[in-house]
Amino acid sequence: MTSEELVERSPSWTLACDNAVLNKLKILSEVRFIYWLQFLWNSSNGRSFDLILIFRILQEVHKNSLAIKQDCESLTEDVTRVQSRLSNITNKFLMISNTQFVENRVEEFEEADVAAEVRSNQVARKVKTKQEKEAELLKKMKEAIQIGINACSSSS
């Protein structure tokens, strides 16, 4: 895949495009490295001192690349650790939210129970009041009947 094709595919980028870019970068780095070695070889004219210098430079480049690789791995571990902590914090917030929701629901049920109890007490009071009213009414009716009987007995 050419560079122009990669640019054309940028709106619909796929994993295959990523792979093509990786291959291009590998080829580019190999070609540059080979050109660099050829340049050093040609400039040294085969002298052993320059070859030793080239070897030391290559060792240093290799050592630096290993250090960079190790740093990248360490960074990856740190990012994974931070991601895990962030997930744990998110889960804790969700648990707190769920606990708060349950507490609110329990409070609503308790308030509903208290309101129902107050209503039942009021109904019981009304029932007692109704019974008392009936007792009073019965008492008044007895008195009225007694007065009526007394009035009938005194007129006869």
Residue bearing tokens 């070695």: 37
Nearest to 23 by CA among 35, 13, 15: 15
**Rounded CA gap, 90 and 84, in Å?**
10
Q: Picking from 32-36, 98-102, 108-112, 116-120, which range would have the lowest pLDDT averaged per residue?
A: 32-36
The domain segmentation of the chain, as residue ranges, is 46-155
Q: Model's pTM, two decimal places?
A: 0.37
pLDDT per residue over 11-69, tens digit each? 787 888 778 877 877 776 666 666 666 666 666 665 555 666 667 777 788 888 888 88
Task: Kindly provide the b/e burial profile for residues 129-149, where b requires at least 16 CB atoms within 10 angstroms of the residue's own CB.
Answer: eeeeeeeeeeeeeeeeeeeee
**Rounded CA gap, 39 and 20, in Å?**
28
